[in-house]
Structure 1
Amino acid sequence: MEQQRNSPLYSNYEDLRASELPTSSSAHMVNIASAQQPPEPESVHTNFKRNPVPEYRGFKTSENEPLGCMEWIVTLLSLLVFIITCPISVFICIKVVAEYERAIIFRLGRLSGGPRGPGMFFILPCIDQYRKVDLRTVTFNVPQQEMLTKDSVTVTVDAVVYYRICDPLYAIVRVEDYSTSTRLLAATTLRNIVGTRNLTELLTERETLAHNMQLTLDDATEPWGVMVERVEIKDVSLPTSMQRAMAAEAEASRDARAKVIAAEGEKKSATALKEASDVISSSPSALQLRYLQTLSSISAEKNSTIVFPLPMELLTPYLAKYMQLPPPQLPSDLSKEQQASYPQTIL
């Protein structure tokens, strides 16, 4: 039961009270157990009735404490004022809250029951005060936080927080301003979480960071009756110099991968050409067929130029013959300048 009382599923006081009411079977078992147990001494019942301990989910209040003499007098005077000004005071003392609102009433500074609403409720003039609490989900932008990451990089982070009130009484009694407190806590939590992460983790693991921030905020705001439903990181801004450095790094990485891919392609093409040359060299007619195929592709383009390949084997004997010839003899009566300018004839 204690876990159910602390669960955020109970969005209002009425749901909590309804969940704690015993069912028919449980009520029957309680009656049987009470019938079997011996009656307690009268003093115990008397003390319990005289000194009740008012609690609201473990939070003690003073709503059931006995009123003092002055408080009784002020209450009677308030009722008297209401009766005297009855036609007009009815419109002042009757209040209405919407379906998505709850009202917390304080009588002479003390809590008067749990949250009221939705619908109409009555307050006494001059001595009753009430505060309305909106139960709808509230969205706010966390101000831009400029901070340092774990690897000493300056970033600016924007986030959005969604929260709602799950316990109106806690939101009014246990914290002065739940909205401002939640906003300041969200900004501080965002700075703390970003300071423990590297830049790469901050850019690639946004969902994980948002989930961790949501859990941290929910645990911190639970005593205030506030439940953080969702946290989203909108944007992570980097300095211009860091953006240029990261762009240059990415470009260099892509160029390196492109060169590696091109080199692998050249290697594969060279291997394929070697295999093709081995196939052609194994058959003398294959080279002739390849030559005819090349001529066919050239003629298809309406080209008037035809290239005839000349095998290098035909020139081998002539090259060998000229390589064995001695260098030409110059006349001996020529000077050095004339020998340098003398035309050399290859026979």
Structure 2
Amino acid sequence: MYTPTKTKSFDDLTVIKKETCVEKIFRILALVGIILFPVVLIACFRVVKQYKRAVILRFGRVRKDSPAGPGIIWTIPCTDDVALIDLRTQSLNLPPQEILTKDSVTVSVDAVVYFHVANPLDCLLKVQYHTSATELLTIAMLRNILGQYTLTDALKNRELISLKTRLEVDKVATQWGVEIERVEIKNILLPHELQKALAAEAEGTRLARAKIIGAEGEIKAAESLREASKVMMENPKTMLLRYLQTLNFIASQQRSSIIFPFPVDFPDETAK
């Protein structure tokens, strides 16, 4: 016997079914995406200052436009890693170094080095910490170069030693993308005992020089007196004038009573 099949009525279309778990998940993800989209979009833009450059690594590899900047750059937060490199001149105050000179004298040297980054890519990829590497390299080169000079030469040729150190450090630092501008020796400190010995030597030299100058002055004074005596012998009246001048000088220096014969006999020019 034939039984008709049941067909879905039109009223069944109006029945509201419950939301499935998958639909809930997608709805939540859509809401989160709509809310976070402006934040993510803003995070994709970064500003690089005029004195810096940005090296961008995408999935661990250098992006083609690196180094980027200055200005606004575009990055992907989840895949890009940005390293900012400062291009300004940096200064390193080297710690005091105890250095043995060629004549076996221990001195303490204070120096400072000025450098800047010339190639940001090499600075990031070829050396781990370019600042500490430059500092250690400068210290090593300074010790090697100062060890080739005696104490006297090191004190006299400070500018030459600074120039040699800069050239030697720059040869290696260029491979790291770092350019050395200047290396300056601020001070060379001597041991206290050596300072006392040098001071005593300098004082003895000054005393000897003073005695030599005094002896030379006495020789010149004796020669002048000899010339003056010749003049007085030629003109006897000059003796009386000299005598009166000496009395005037004695009276002006202190209060004293001077007795001299009066009238004074003038020497006779004709008497011989």
State the alpha-carbon separation in 1 of the partners of residues 194 and 220 from structure 2: 39
Equivalenced residue count is: 226
The whole-number CA distance in structure 2 between the counterparts of 1:281 and 1:243 is 57
Q: Any conservation in 2 of the 1:102–1:133 contact (CA below 8 Å)? A: yes
1:261 aligns with 2:186: no
Q: Which amino acid aligns with 1:93?
A: C
Q: What is the aligned-residue RMSD (CA, Å)?
A: 2.0
Look up the match of 1:282. Answer: 234
Asked whether the 8 Å contact 1:295–1:306 carries over to 2, the reply is: no
Matching residue of 1:176: 128
Letter in 2 for 1:89: V
> Partner residue of 1:106?
57
Structure 2 CA distance, aligned partners of 1:249 and 1:296?
Answer: 46
- The one-character-per-residue Cα deviations of 1:105-156 (angstroms, maximum 9, x if unpaired) are 1112211112011112122232221211011111111111001011111100
> How much has 1:182 moved relative to structure 2?
0.6
1:188 corresponds to: 140
Match of 2:258 in 1: 305
Task: Determine if contact 1:160/1:233 at 8 Å carries over to the other structure.
Answer: yes
Q: Which of residues 48, 68, 76 is equivalent to 1:124? A: 76
Q: What is residue 242 of structure 1 aligned with on the other side? A: 194
Distance 1:112 1:209 in 2: 42
- 1:163 touches 1:226 (CA, 8 Å); kept in 2? yes
Partners of 1:163 and 1:184 lie apart in 2 by 14
CA distance in 1, matches of 2:255, 2:140: 78
Residue 99 of structure 1 aligns to a residue whose secondary structure is coil
**Where do residues 103-252 of structure 1 align in structure 2 (5 Å cutoff)?**
103-113=54-64, 114-252=66-204
User: 1:11 corresponds to which residue?
Assistant: none
CA distance in 2, matches of 1:297, 1:153: 58
- CA apart distance, 1:245: 0.6
Deviations 1:255-280 (A, max 9, x none): 11111100000000011111112222
TM-score (norm 1): 0.61
Matched, 1:97 2:97: no
Deviations 1:49-94 (A, max 9, x none): xxxxxxxxxxxxxxxxxxxxxxxxxxxxxxxxxx885333213322
SS class of match (1:90)? helix
Deviation at 1:252, TM superposition (A): 0.8
User: What is the correspondence of 1:58-73 to structure 2 with a 5 Å cutoff?
Assistant: none
CA shift for structure 1 position 299 = 5.1
Give distance in 2, aligned partners of 1:195 and 1:299: 67
What's the TM-score, normalizing by structure 2? 0.77
Kept in 2, the 8 Å contact 1:298–1:306? The answer is: no
| Alpha-carbon distance in 2 for matches of 1:184, 1:299 | 76
- Provide the residue aligned with 2:16 in structure 1: none
Letter in 1 for 2:63: S
1:66 is matched with none
Sort the Cα spacing of 1:134 and 1:293 in 2 relative to 1 into closer, same or farther, 3 A: closer
One-letter amino acid matched to 1:303: S
> Partner amino acid for 2:51?
Y
Shift of 1:232: 1.3
Unaligned runs of 5+ in 2: 1-32, 262-272
Select between 205-214 and 291-300 the one with higher mean Cα deviation.
Answer: 291-300
